[in-house]
Amino acid sequence: MCFRKVQCTRYACGHDTPNAESLVDCRSTRCRYSKEHPVGCKTCSTSCKQWLRPAQTVVSFLSPLNCIHCRR
Ligand SMILES: [Zn+2]
Ligand SMILES: [Zn+2]
Ligand SMILES: [Zn+2]
């Protein structure tokens, strides 16, 4: 199953702020969100996965500062 990958910045205060999002393709022909999935799939609702996995958060940048909520 495909899922969304959310890249975020982690601040010194411990809070994360998302800054980019991408869809990771599972490359399965049995997943309706995959690019490998056939267009016009007839039996889609019974044969294929109809949902995405929960989003996965990855910390792509570490900031030495506090986030905007804690910055004062
Ligand atoms: Zn998928
Ligand atoms: Zn399908
Ligand atoms: Zn904060």
- Where b means 16+ CB within 10 Å and e means fewer, 10-34 reads bbeeeeeeeeeeeeeebeeeebbbb
pLDDT, averaged across the chain:
96
Question: Average pLDDT of 16-35?
Answer: 96
Taking a 5 Å cut-off on Cβ, the residues next to ion ligand 3 are 13, 15, 67, 69-70
**Which ligand has its closest atom nearest to the C-alpha of 26?**
1
What separation in Å is there between the alpha carbon of 47 and the centre of ligand 1?
A: 13
Tens of pLDDT, residue by residue over 26-56, are 999 999 999 999 999 999 999 999 999 999 9
Q: Is a pLDDT exceeding 90 seen at residue 11?
A: yes
SS3 label, residue 47: helix
